[in-house]
Structure formats: C-alpha cells, structure tokens
Amino acid sequence: MVDAPTAPRDKGAARQPGVQTRVLAARVLAAVLVRGRSLKAELSAALPRLDDSRDRALLEAICFATLRRRHAYDQALGQWLQKPLGPREADLRGLLMAGFAQLDALQLPAHAALSATVDAARALGRERQAGLVNAVLRRAQREGFAPAVAEDAWPRWLLQQVRHDWPQHADAIISNSLQPAPLWLRVNRQQHSRDAYLGLLHEAGIEALAEPLSADAIRLPVAVPVASLPGFAQGAVSVQDLSAQQVADALAPPAGARVLDACAAPGGKSAHLLERDPSLQLLALDVDARRLQRIRETFARTGVGAHAQVRAVDAADTAAWWDGRPFDAVLLDAPCSATGIIRRQPDVLLHRRVEDITALAALQARLLDALWQVLRPGGVLLYATCSILRRENAEQVAAFLARTPDARLQPLAAAFGHDDHGCRQRLPGEQGGDGFFQARLVKMDLA
C-alpha cells in the first residue's frame, strides 16, 4: 500500500550527485503524465536548474525514454503495486517510471540508478515510500518489462488515421516516431560556409556530415551539448531539423523581398531566411506575446533581423496589423497536430485528441484565407505543417484551391519528400528528418 507523504523533505539527499536530476525528472513526468502539461514547457523550466550539461542531458534522456515506454511501465506499476497511485502520488509515479527508464531503456548502472532514485524519494518528502521505491525498482531489475511494441504507445484513433493516410508507410512511421531524433545543425552563412564550419567541428573532435538535401545542413551522428559547438553563442550555427531548414529552399523569396512569417516563434525559420538574404524586409508575427522574446533572442544570437519587425498579433486578424502593402512571400508554418515530430515531442501521443484535428483544420483554413489577401499577385505563400495527417495537409490545400480561384499549386522537387497531389510530405525519420508537409502556392493575376 502507498502511504501519503508525512516526512519533511530531505535537503541533504537532494544535494547528493544525481539526486536532483531524478527529483526534477519525477516532477516533469508528474506534470506531463498526470496534469496534462507539455513536456517541452516543463523541460524548459527544469533544465536551467541543473548546472552540469551532463545532468541536463540525463534529465532529458530519462523523460523521453519514459514517455516512449510509458505503456510497458504503466503495466508494470499495475502489476507490482497493491493499489493504483492517485493524483496525490503523481511525483511518486513519475519517480518510479523514471527509475524504470534508467534500468530498462537507458541501461544505466543499476546500483547508481537505484541509489540516486531512492534518495530522490526522500528529497521529494517521501521518506516513508523510499523502501517501496527500492523494492519496486529491484523487482524491475530482476523481472524486466514487456517487449517494446511501438503501436502500444499510440491512441487507437491516431493509429487508424495514420494507417488510412499512409498504408504503405504506417509501420515505418510508427517505429520511427519512437526513435531518438539526430542532432541537425544549420550553418549561418553570414559567418561561415558549411565547409568551413565542418572544418571547425573536425578541429573540435566532433563528427559531422554535410547533408546534400539542404545547403546549410549538417548532421551529427553523435549529439553533443550545444555549448560545445564552435561559435554557437556567437550565432555561427543553430539547431534546426533538416525538414525545417528546407522551408527556406521551398519559399525561395527574391532578393530584398517583403516577407511575412505569420506564425514565427521561436524564430528559426525567419532567422534562416535572413541569414541567406539580410536584405529581406521581414515581418515576424506570433499570437503568443510571451514567445516573441524567443524570436528576438534568436535574431540577436545569430546577428540577423536588425531591421526585421516582430509583432504579437493574431495573423488571421489582418485588420489589426496589416498596413495594406502586399507581401512578395508569405510563410505560414501553421499550428498543427505535431504528429510529424512525435520523436521530439513524445507527449503528443498522450495529449492529442481526435477533436483537436477538427479545431486545428478550421484554424489552418482561417489563416490560409486571411493571409492570401496580403499576398501580391505573382507572390508565393508556402503552407507548411509538422503534421503527417492528410486532413491538415493535402486535403487542406485541395479545399483551399477549390475555393480560391487565383491560387495555383506549384510543385516542389522530390528532395522535399513524397509527392501528395502536388504537395510534398516527408515522413518521420526519412533522410533523418522530421515529418513535415509543404505546399507552394502562387497567386495568379486574374485582372
């Protein structure tokens, strides 16, 4: 039986090596698994509390591994505990599952993992459950867990939708979405050529490979802390997935063009466009005012965007922000289900609901219709999502074309992924990239 905590928090235990990392892992997982919070947001708050980059990497690894094997760990808890853990034991549940991930998925040395995790129970104020944590983790060490079945992590409705949309690729999508993503870098060509930066990585002893699908992309077979990347703090390089980097190639605005990035935070795609052409007249919008700071920080670190404008507005409410001057190019990286980046956000499988897709599709259509009005004749709108669901992607574009007489779809090259009715879809893990959809729409002059 699990008792409620009665003992005070053991501050001494929290100071022992590795204990604080497990404490934070328990709290992050409790917030995600029990309270429905975003893993990305919880890690963003927790990681700065750890000074050592190795501890930060371990915290991320524990949380990701736990969510990827959540089904098996839930099964084990159901079998090994006398009664289910309630909401008041959220941190205890998170700690036990973090312990499972250390022993199972991460294969950490058992003695160190058990010791630090049991001490973390005390640091969480659960002295009376420390023995329970020790006993359950030792049983996990002896008996292990059910074999990994990738489908188990997926909600049934989403599994059915993926199999319907991508019958020939569904198994690979499901498997690849639960694998760790590689570390992709984008070289800032205002500071270095890609070849020159590859030389700096070689000098630093970091293995790196150039990616032919995008001119600024580098793939690291073994991830390293970003602080160890030459010139990272000075903006010489940024972390950005291959698929996201290809947005600049797909939009390809003319030199000096007036460009709108309608849903811009955290600013990586805007920065990439400006790194390629500092003469662009760029306006970056985001509906969340709190996220604008991320855009400004991205511009400041990379040294671009000195003349770019950043505004917190609803891009679809053009009357609130548009000055009437048409744009040459519009990037709409639309809010979506994030089903193409589950390997980076495994909590998508925990939080996403079927009704979300209906709401997101309506928002995407509203944004498309509104932003089409601010584009000049002859201009280009690039519609992109990190979804793999056709309702948000090819079907969304087909519906837009049907109701928009002056819109034409301009096919993109095979380098952008699978052809899907003239649009392009990369599926998770293909060429090492995220799942990502792009459609290039040209505005015709029908006057």
Which residues participate in catalysis according to the annotation? 386
**Of the candidates 107, 101, 27, the residue with the CA atom closest to the CA atom of residue 71:** 101
Output the DSSP codes for 128-152.
Answer: GGHHHHHHHHHHHHHH--PPP-GGG
Nearest Cα to Cα of residue 338 among 288, 388, 384: 388
Ramachandran class of 359: left when φ > 0, alpha when ψ lies in -120 to 50, beta otherwise:
alpha
Both structure tokens of 292: 């604008």
Please tell me what DSSP assigns to residue 416.
Answer: G
Which strand (E) or helix (H) includes residue 296?
A: helix 292-302
Between CA 326 and CA 318 the distance in angstroms is 12
Measured CA to CA, the distance from residue 93 to residue 8 in angstroms comes to 19
CA distances from 172 to 27, 165, 180 (A): 32, 13, 14
Crossing angle, helix 19-33 and helix 90-103, to 10 degrees?
Answer: 120
Q: From the CB of residue 425, how many other CB atoms can be counted at a distance below 10 Å?
A: 26
Structure tokens at 386: 């990190």
Residue 226 Rama label (left phi>0; alpha psi -120 to 50; beta):
alpha
DSSP code at position 10: -
Give CA separation, 406 vs 318, 395, 445, in Å.
19, 18, 7
DSSP state of 429: T
What is the per-residue burial (b if ≥16 Cβ within 10 Å, else e) of 202-215?
eeeebebeebebbb
Cβ atoms of 49 and 20 closer than 8 Å? yes
Residue at token pair 């060490």? 141
How many whole angstroms separate alpha carbon 406 and alpha carbon 310?
29
Quote the CA–CA distance of 361 and 58 in Å, as a whole number. 37
Answer yes or no: are the C-beta atoms of 29 and 85 closer than 8 Å: no
